[in-house]
């Protein structure tokens, strides 16, 4: 078919862009890398004989998944060499990455889920996301992963079991999230050791991602006592204390990956983000992103 008779590439691609970006972000944990993958998928779509593609959504999902699997081959080595804990790039506009399907995990972009996906093998991750999140059938998953349908069912089943073990079953109410986030901000800002300990779960974990580019805890900090002492110790450092008193340090509440979160600015520049995982009335995990490369997209105009 001549190019003039084919579906317009941009018009036929754009309805799927958000869903494809969500798939790539969940696979890679990086918005920047996900956008590169989706742009590559668009270029391939543009060059494809679109008149013979019966299901554009499945074709594009297959293309993006394969591109992500290729990307993960090099990412695995980079992650092994990463300095300190690795966290996904924080998102403030997670609703734009929702899949065009209604499933149990469709609107879940929490850091906890993304870290669980990171612990899966690339094929397990792909099978789970394609089937359970993006609602593609197993024949399509098998075609994408170049495995049998039975093998893909097993991949997705193993992934699903791990996700259900590690993913919280119930989400906190908005009221509970607001209460604990505000209590955390107040205790953090004042260096209130006991106040922090009261709102942390007994098995709470603190993760800090500096990527070797800025100071950060090189290992997870475990337990309310250690976390509270670590955080209040930072606040009590003379340099930070002066900023707290003089005013250049500013905290702003935000939703980060759909979780209660905080943006911390120093002298007008985003310095770090906090995402709080809340379960059963306590904070069970604190995810702090300090790596400037991961914060670049969230900086005010002119400061990226």
pLDDT, one tens digit per residue, over 76-122 is: 767 778 899 999 999 997 667 767 765 677 778 899 999 999 999 99
Which runs of E-coded beta strand occur in the chain?
200-209, 221-222, 249-256, 259-266, 269-279, 282-289
pLDDT at 130 over 60: yes
pLDDT at 212 over 90: yes
Q: CA-CA distances (angstroms) from residue 213 to 33, 253, 289, 291?
A: 19, 25, 12, 6
Q: Give the C-alpha separation, 126 to 290, whole Å.
A: 28
Work out the percent of the chain whose per-residue pLDDT is above 70. Answer: 87
Determine the pLDDT at residue 4. 52
| Sign of torsion over alpha carbons 174, 180, 184, 187 | positive
Residues 34-48: tens digit of each pLDDT: 999 999 999 999 999
Q: Give the C-alpha separation, 255 to 258, whole Å.
A: 5
Packing angle of the helix pair 9-28, 31-47 (nearest 10 deg): 150
The band of 245, judged by pLDDT with boundaries at 50, 70 and 90, is: very low
Determine the pLDDT at residue 239. 53
pTM of the model: 0.89
**Higher pLDDT residue, 195 or 5?**
195
Q: CA-CA distances (angstroms) from residue 162 to 75, 116, 165, 167?
A: 22, 8, 5, 8
Nearest CA to 276 out of 177, 191, 196, 174 is that of 177
272 and 207 Cβ atoms separated by less than 8 Å: no
Phi, psi of 97, rounded to the nearest 5 degrees: -110, 20
Determine the pLDDT at residue 234. 73
Q: In what order do the strands lie in the sheet with 269-279?
A: 221-222, 200-209, 282-289, 269-279, 259-266, 249-256
Determine the pLDDT at residue 5. 61
């Amino acid at each position: 078919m001549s190019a003039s008779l084919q579906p317009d590439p941009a018009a036929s691609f754009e309805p799927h862009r958000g869903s494809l970006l969500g798939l790539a972000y969940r696979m890679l944990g990086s918005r920047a890398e996900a956008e590169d993958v989706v742009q590559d998928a668009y270029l391939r779509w543009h060059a494809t004989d679109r008149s013979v593609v019966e299901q554009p959504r499945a074709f594009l999902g297959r293309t993006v998944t394969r591109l992500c699997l290729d990307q993960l081959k090099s990412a695995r080595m980079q992650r092994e060499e990463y300095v300190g804990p690795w966290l996904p790039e924080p998102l403030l506009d997670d609703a734009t990455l929702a899949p065009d399907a209604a499933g149990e995990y469709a609107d879940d972009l929490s850091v906890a889920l993304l870290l669980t996906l990171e612990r899966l093998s690339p094929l397990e991750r792909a099978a789970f996301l394609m089937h359970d999140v993006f609602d593609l059938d197993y024949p399509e998953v098998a075609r994408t992963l170049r495995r049998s349908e039975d093998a893909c069912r097993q991949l997705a089943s193993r992934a699903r079991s791990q996700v259900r073990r590690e993913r919280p079953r119930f989400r906190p109410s908005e009221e509970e999230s607001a209460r604990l986030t505000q209590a955390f901000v107040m205790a953090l800002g004042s260096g209130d050791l006991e106040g922090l300990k009261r709102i942390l779960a007994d098995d709470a974990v603190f993760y800090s991602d500096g990527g070797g580019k800025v100071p950060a805890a090189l290992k997870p900090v475990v337990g309310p006592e250690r976390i509270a002492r670590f955080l209040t110790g930072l606040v009590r450092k003379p340099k930070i204390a002066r900023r707290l008193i003089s005013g250049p340090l500013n905290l702003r509440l935000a939703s980060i990956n759909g979780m209660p979160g905080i943006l911390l600015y120093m002298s007008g520049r985003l310095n770090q983000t906090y995402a709080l995982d809340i379960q059963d009335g306590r904070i069970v995990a604190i995810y702090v992103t300090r790596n400037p490369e991961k914060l670049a997209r969230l900086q005010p105009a002119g400061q990226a």
